[in-house]
Chain A
Amino acid sequence: MHVQLTITGGIAPPLTGESASINTADLPQEEAREVQSLVARALQEEPPPLDPRARDAYAYELRIDTGDQVHSIQAFDGGIPPAIGELIQCVRRLAR
């Protein structure tokens, strides 16, 4: 499973944006399982659209390629559901 994270926006784009990607095939078994579990939970969530009052917020784009299917999730600061938030942080942490 390949997970690509793209972060745009922020107080000074493009400085504040970033991208990260991970492939579960390259990860230790425990971390791969963590990613798969988070992806399964994240796909159950429906993030709200960007609050039109928000300023300098990030937009998070997750592209999840399971091999069989490709899923896309978009979420925004101020309204990130729990599992999607955990997945975003997990991808950033594991991609370092």
Chain B
Amino acid sequence: MRDACLLNCIIPPHIMMKLLEAKDRSIREAALNTLLASVHVRTARALAPGLLAAVNSTGTKRRTIFDAKRNLTPFGELVRGEGGPASPDQAVNDAYDGIGLTYDFYLEEFNRNSLDGNGMRLDAVVHYGDRVNNAFFDGTRMLFGDGDGARFINLTKSPDVIAHELTHGVTRFTAGLDYHKQSGALNESVSDVFGSLVKQWAQNQDAQSADWLIGDGIFTPAISGDALRSLKAPGTAYNNPLFGEDPQPDHMSKFVPLPDTQAGDNGGVHINSGIPNHVFFLLAIAIGGKAWDIPGHIWYDTLVNRVGEFAQFEDFAKATYEGAGSLYGTAEQSAVRDAWSKVGIEIDFGASLRASKDSPKSRKGGARVDTESLAELHARLDRLAKRVDEIAKKLP
């Protein structure tokens, strides 16, 4: 009862200071207890997300696959853990392998240990719902539908779809690109870019020989169409009576303004992603070689170090230009500038120079942010604890 009172009573700081100096010992003790309880609750609240991340972080690759058994639930029966034997269920193995491939790609190419950069465990749920035509990231895990067999096959069959979903997790822990309008389209584009790169990396393909498709083979044979999206030629991935024509633009002049609603795809995040998607393709072709090398590192550096959650296409363009100069040189910068120019986005060099000093870098690497915020929290708690000690010593 007393604790409940302490936790629920909100006392302004100036009144609390008066109470701590009260002549009546019982009032002073009550005030001190309230202050200590407040510190306790605040500490618990502040530390909870970090502790949760620490609990979920294994420090190494740890995949866990669950079976939702065709229910619309994000939970299910554990069917395969890290290092466990292959399952008789191919969807389980496909999810396990696709997640492992993506984990290996980020670790080997970018020295990134899982989604959060700190070994976060990788959970996935297969057989989500009955014949669901979708795969998604719910903020902590990936969920895969089986497809209805009429339009889509099992979504676990596509390693680039798996990498796409996992990259949403990487973006969450880095730039945190807001999932609306242009920043949302960048969020989607980053997932498509790295989804395609994971597939190219697995096949050791160079930029010229890659198909640059997302979700190729995900349609049933009854559906004519190459894939969900094409980075090489946005707007051409499919064209059939059932789905209509691929609506992705490849140039700012074709930007599709949609309402920022669920029905409007949050302002066309899956539609206008075609524009930055095509920029990456153009850059990869211009530079040549393996696309995950120079272009991939410029994009990764931008995502992790150079843009904030509300970045627009122009912000991302400037950031990639700056990153190319910082990581490589003028030739790569020119290639970046030309690629953006070809889709109708000109980099403002004056603004770019200013942006290099003022650009929001509030959300860099996930682990770094956690470390910074925890260090700040520790300092604040230290100061508060010292203050409480001082007050306690003054109590008779």
On A, residues with C-beta under 8 Å from B are: 8-16, 18, 50-59, 77-78, 80, 82, 85, 88-89, 92-93
Q: Of the listed stretches B21-29, B77-85, B164-172, B300-308, name the one at the interface; the rest are far from the partner chain.
A: B164-172
Q: Is the CB of A9 within 8 A of B138?
A: no
Please give me the 7 A-B residue pairs with the lowest Cβ-Cβ distance, nearest first: A53-B139, A85-B72, A78-B138, A56-B136, A55-B168, A12-B228, A10-B134
Q: Is the CB of B138 within 8 A of A11?
A: no
Q: Is the CB of B134 within 8 A of A56?
A: yes
Q: How long is the Cα–Cα vector from A54 to B74 in the complex, in angstroms?
A: 12
B253 within 8 A of A: no
Q: Of the listed stretches B98-106, B262-270, B316-324, B344-352, name the one at the interface; the rest are far from the partner chain.
A: B262-270
Q: Is the CB of B262 within 8 A of A11?
A: no
Q: How long is the Cα–Cα vector from A77 to B134 in the complex, in angstroms?
A: 10
Q: How long is the Cα–Cα vector from A50 to B71 in the complex, in angstroms?
A: 18
Q: Nearest B residue to A85 by beta-carbon distance? A: B72
Contact of A59 among B135, B172, B262 (CB under 8 A): B262
Residues of B within 8 A of A52 (CB): 139, 179
B161 within 8 A of A: yes
Q: Whole-angstrom distance from the CB of A14 to the nearest CB of chain B?
A: 8
Residues of A within 8 A of B179 (CB): 52, 55
B113 within 8 A of A: no
Tell me the B13-69 residues at the A interface (CB within 8 Å).
Answer: none
Given A9-B262, A15-B243, A55-B179, A89:B72 Cβ within 8 A: yes
The proximity string for B residues 212-244 relative to A, scoring 1 for CB distances below 8 Å and 0 otherwise, is 000100000000000011000000001000011
Contact of A54 among B132, B135, B139, B243 (CB under 8 A): B139
B73 within 8 A of A: yes
Q: Is the CB of B262 within 8 A of A10?
A: no
| Most A-side CB within 10 Å, residue of B70, B132, B191, B215 | B132
Q: Is the CB of B228 within 8 A of A15?
A: yes
Q: Is the CB of A11 within 8 A of B129?
A: no
Q: A16-B133, A58-B136 are in contact. List 9 more A-B contacts (CB 8 A).
A: A11-B215, A11-B270, A15-B228, A55-B179, A77-B138, A78-B136, A80-B73, A82-B73, A89-B129
Q: Is the CB of A11 within 8 A of B265?
A: no
Q: Whole-angstrom distance from the CB of B56 to the nearest CB of chain A?
A: 14
| Most A-side CB within 10 Å, residue of B136, B165, B263 | B136
Q: Whole-angstrom distance from the CB of B241 to the nearest CB of chain A?
A: 13
Q: How long is the Cα–Cα vector from A8 to B374 in the complex, in angstroms?
A: 39
Given A11-B135, A51-B139, A92-B130, A85:B262 Cβ within 8 A: no
B137 within 8 A of A: yes
B187 within 8 A of A: yes
Q: Is the CB of A89 within 8 A of B130?
A: yes
Q: How long is the Cα–Cα vector from A14 to B246 in the complex, in angstroms?
A: 10
Q: How long is the Cα–Cα vector from A14 to B161 in the complex, in angstroms?
A: 17
Q: How long is the Cα–Cα vector from A96 to B94 in the complex, in angstroms?
A: 28
Residues of A within 8 A of B244 (CB): 14
Q: Is the CB of A55 within 8 A of B136?
A: yes
Q: Is the CB of B139 within 8 A of A78?
A: yes
Residues of A within 8 A of B130 (CB): 89, 92-93
Q: Can you list 18 residue pairs at the A/B interface with Cβ under 8 Å?
A: A10-B134, A10-B136, A11-B134, A11-B215, A11-B270, A15-B133, A15-B151, A15-B238, A16-B133, A52-B179, A53-B138, A53-B172, A56-B135, A57-B136, A58-B136, A77-B134, A80-B73, A82-B73
Q: Nearest A residue to B71 by beta-carbon distance? A: A85
Q: Is the CB of A12 within 8 A of B215?
A: yes
Q: Is the CB of A11 within 8 A of B72?
A: no
Q: Is the CB of A55 within 8 A of B262?
A: no
Q: Is the CB of B243 within 8 A of A11?
A: no
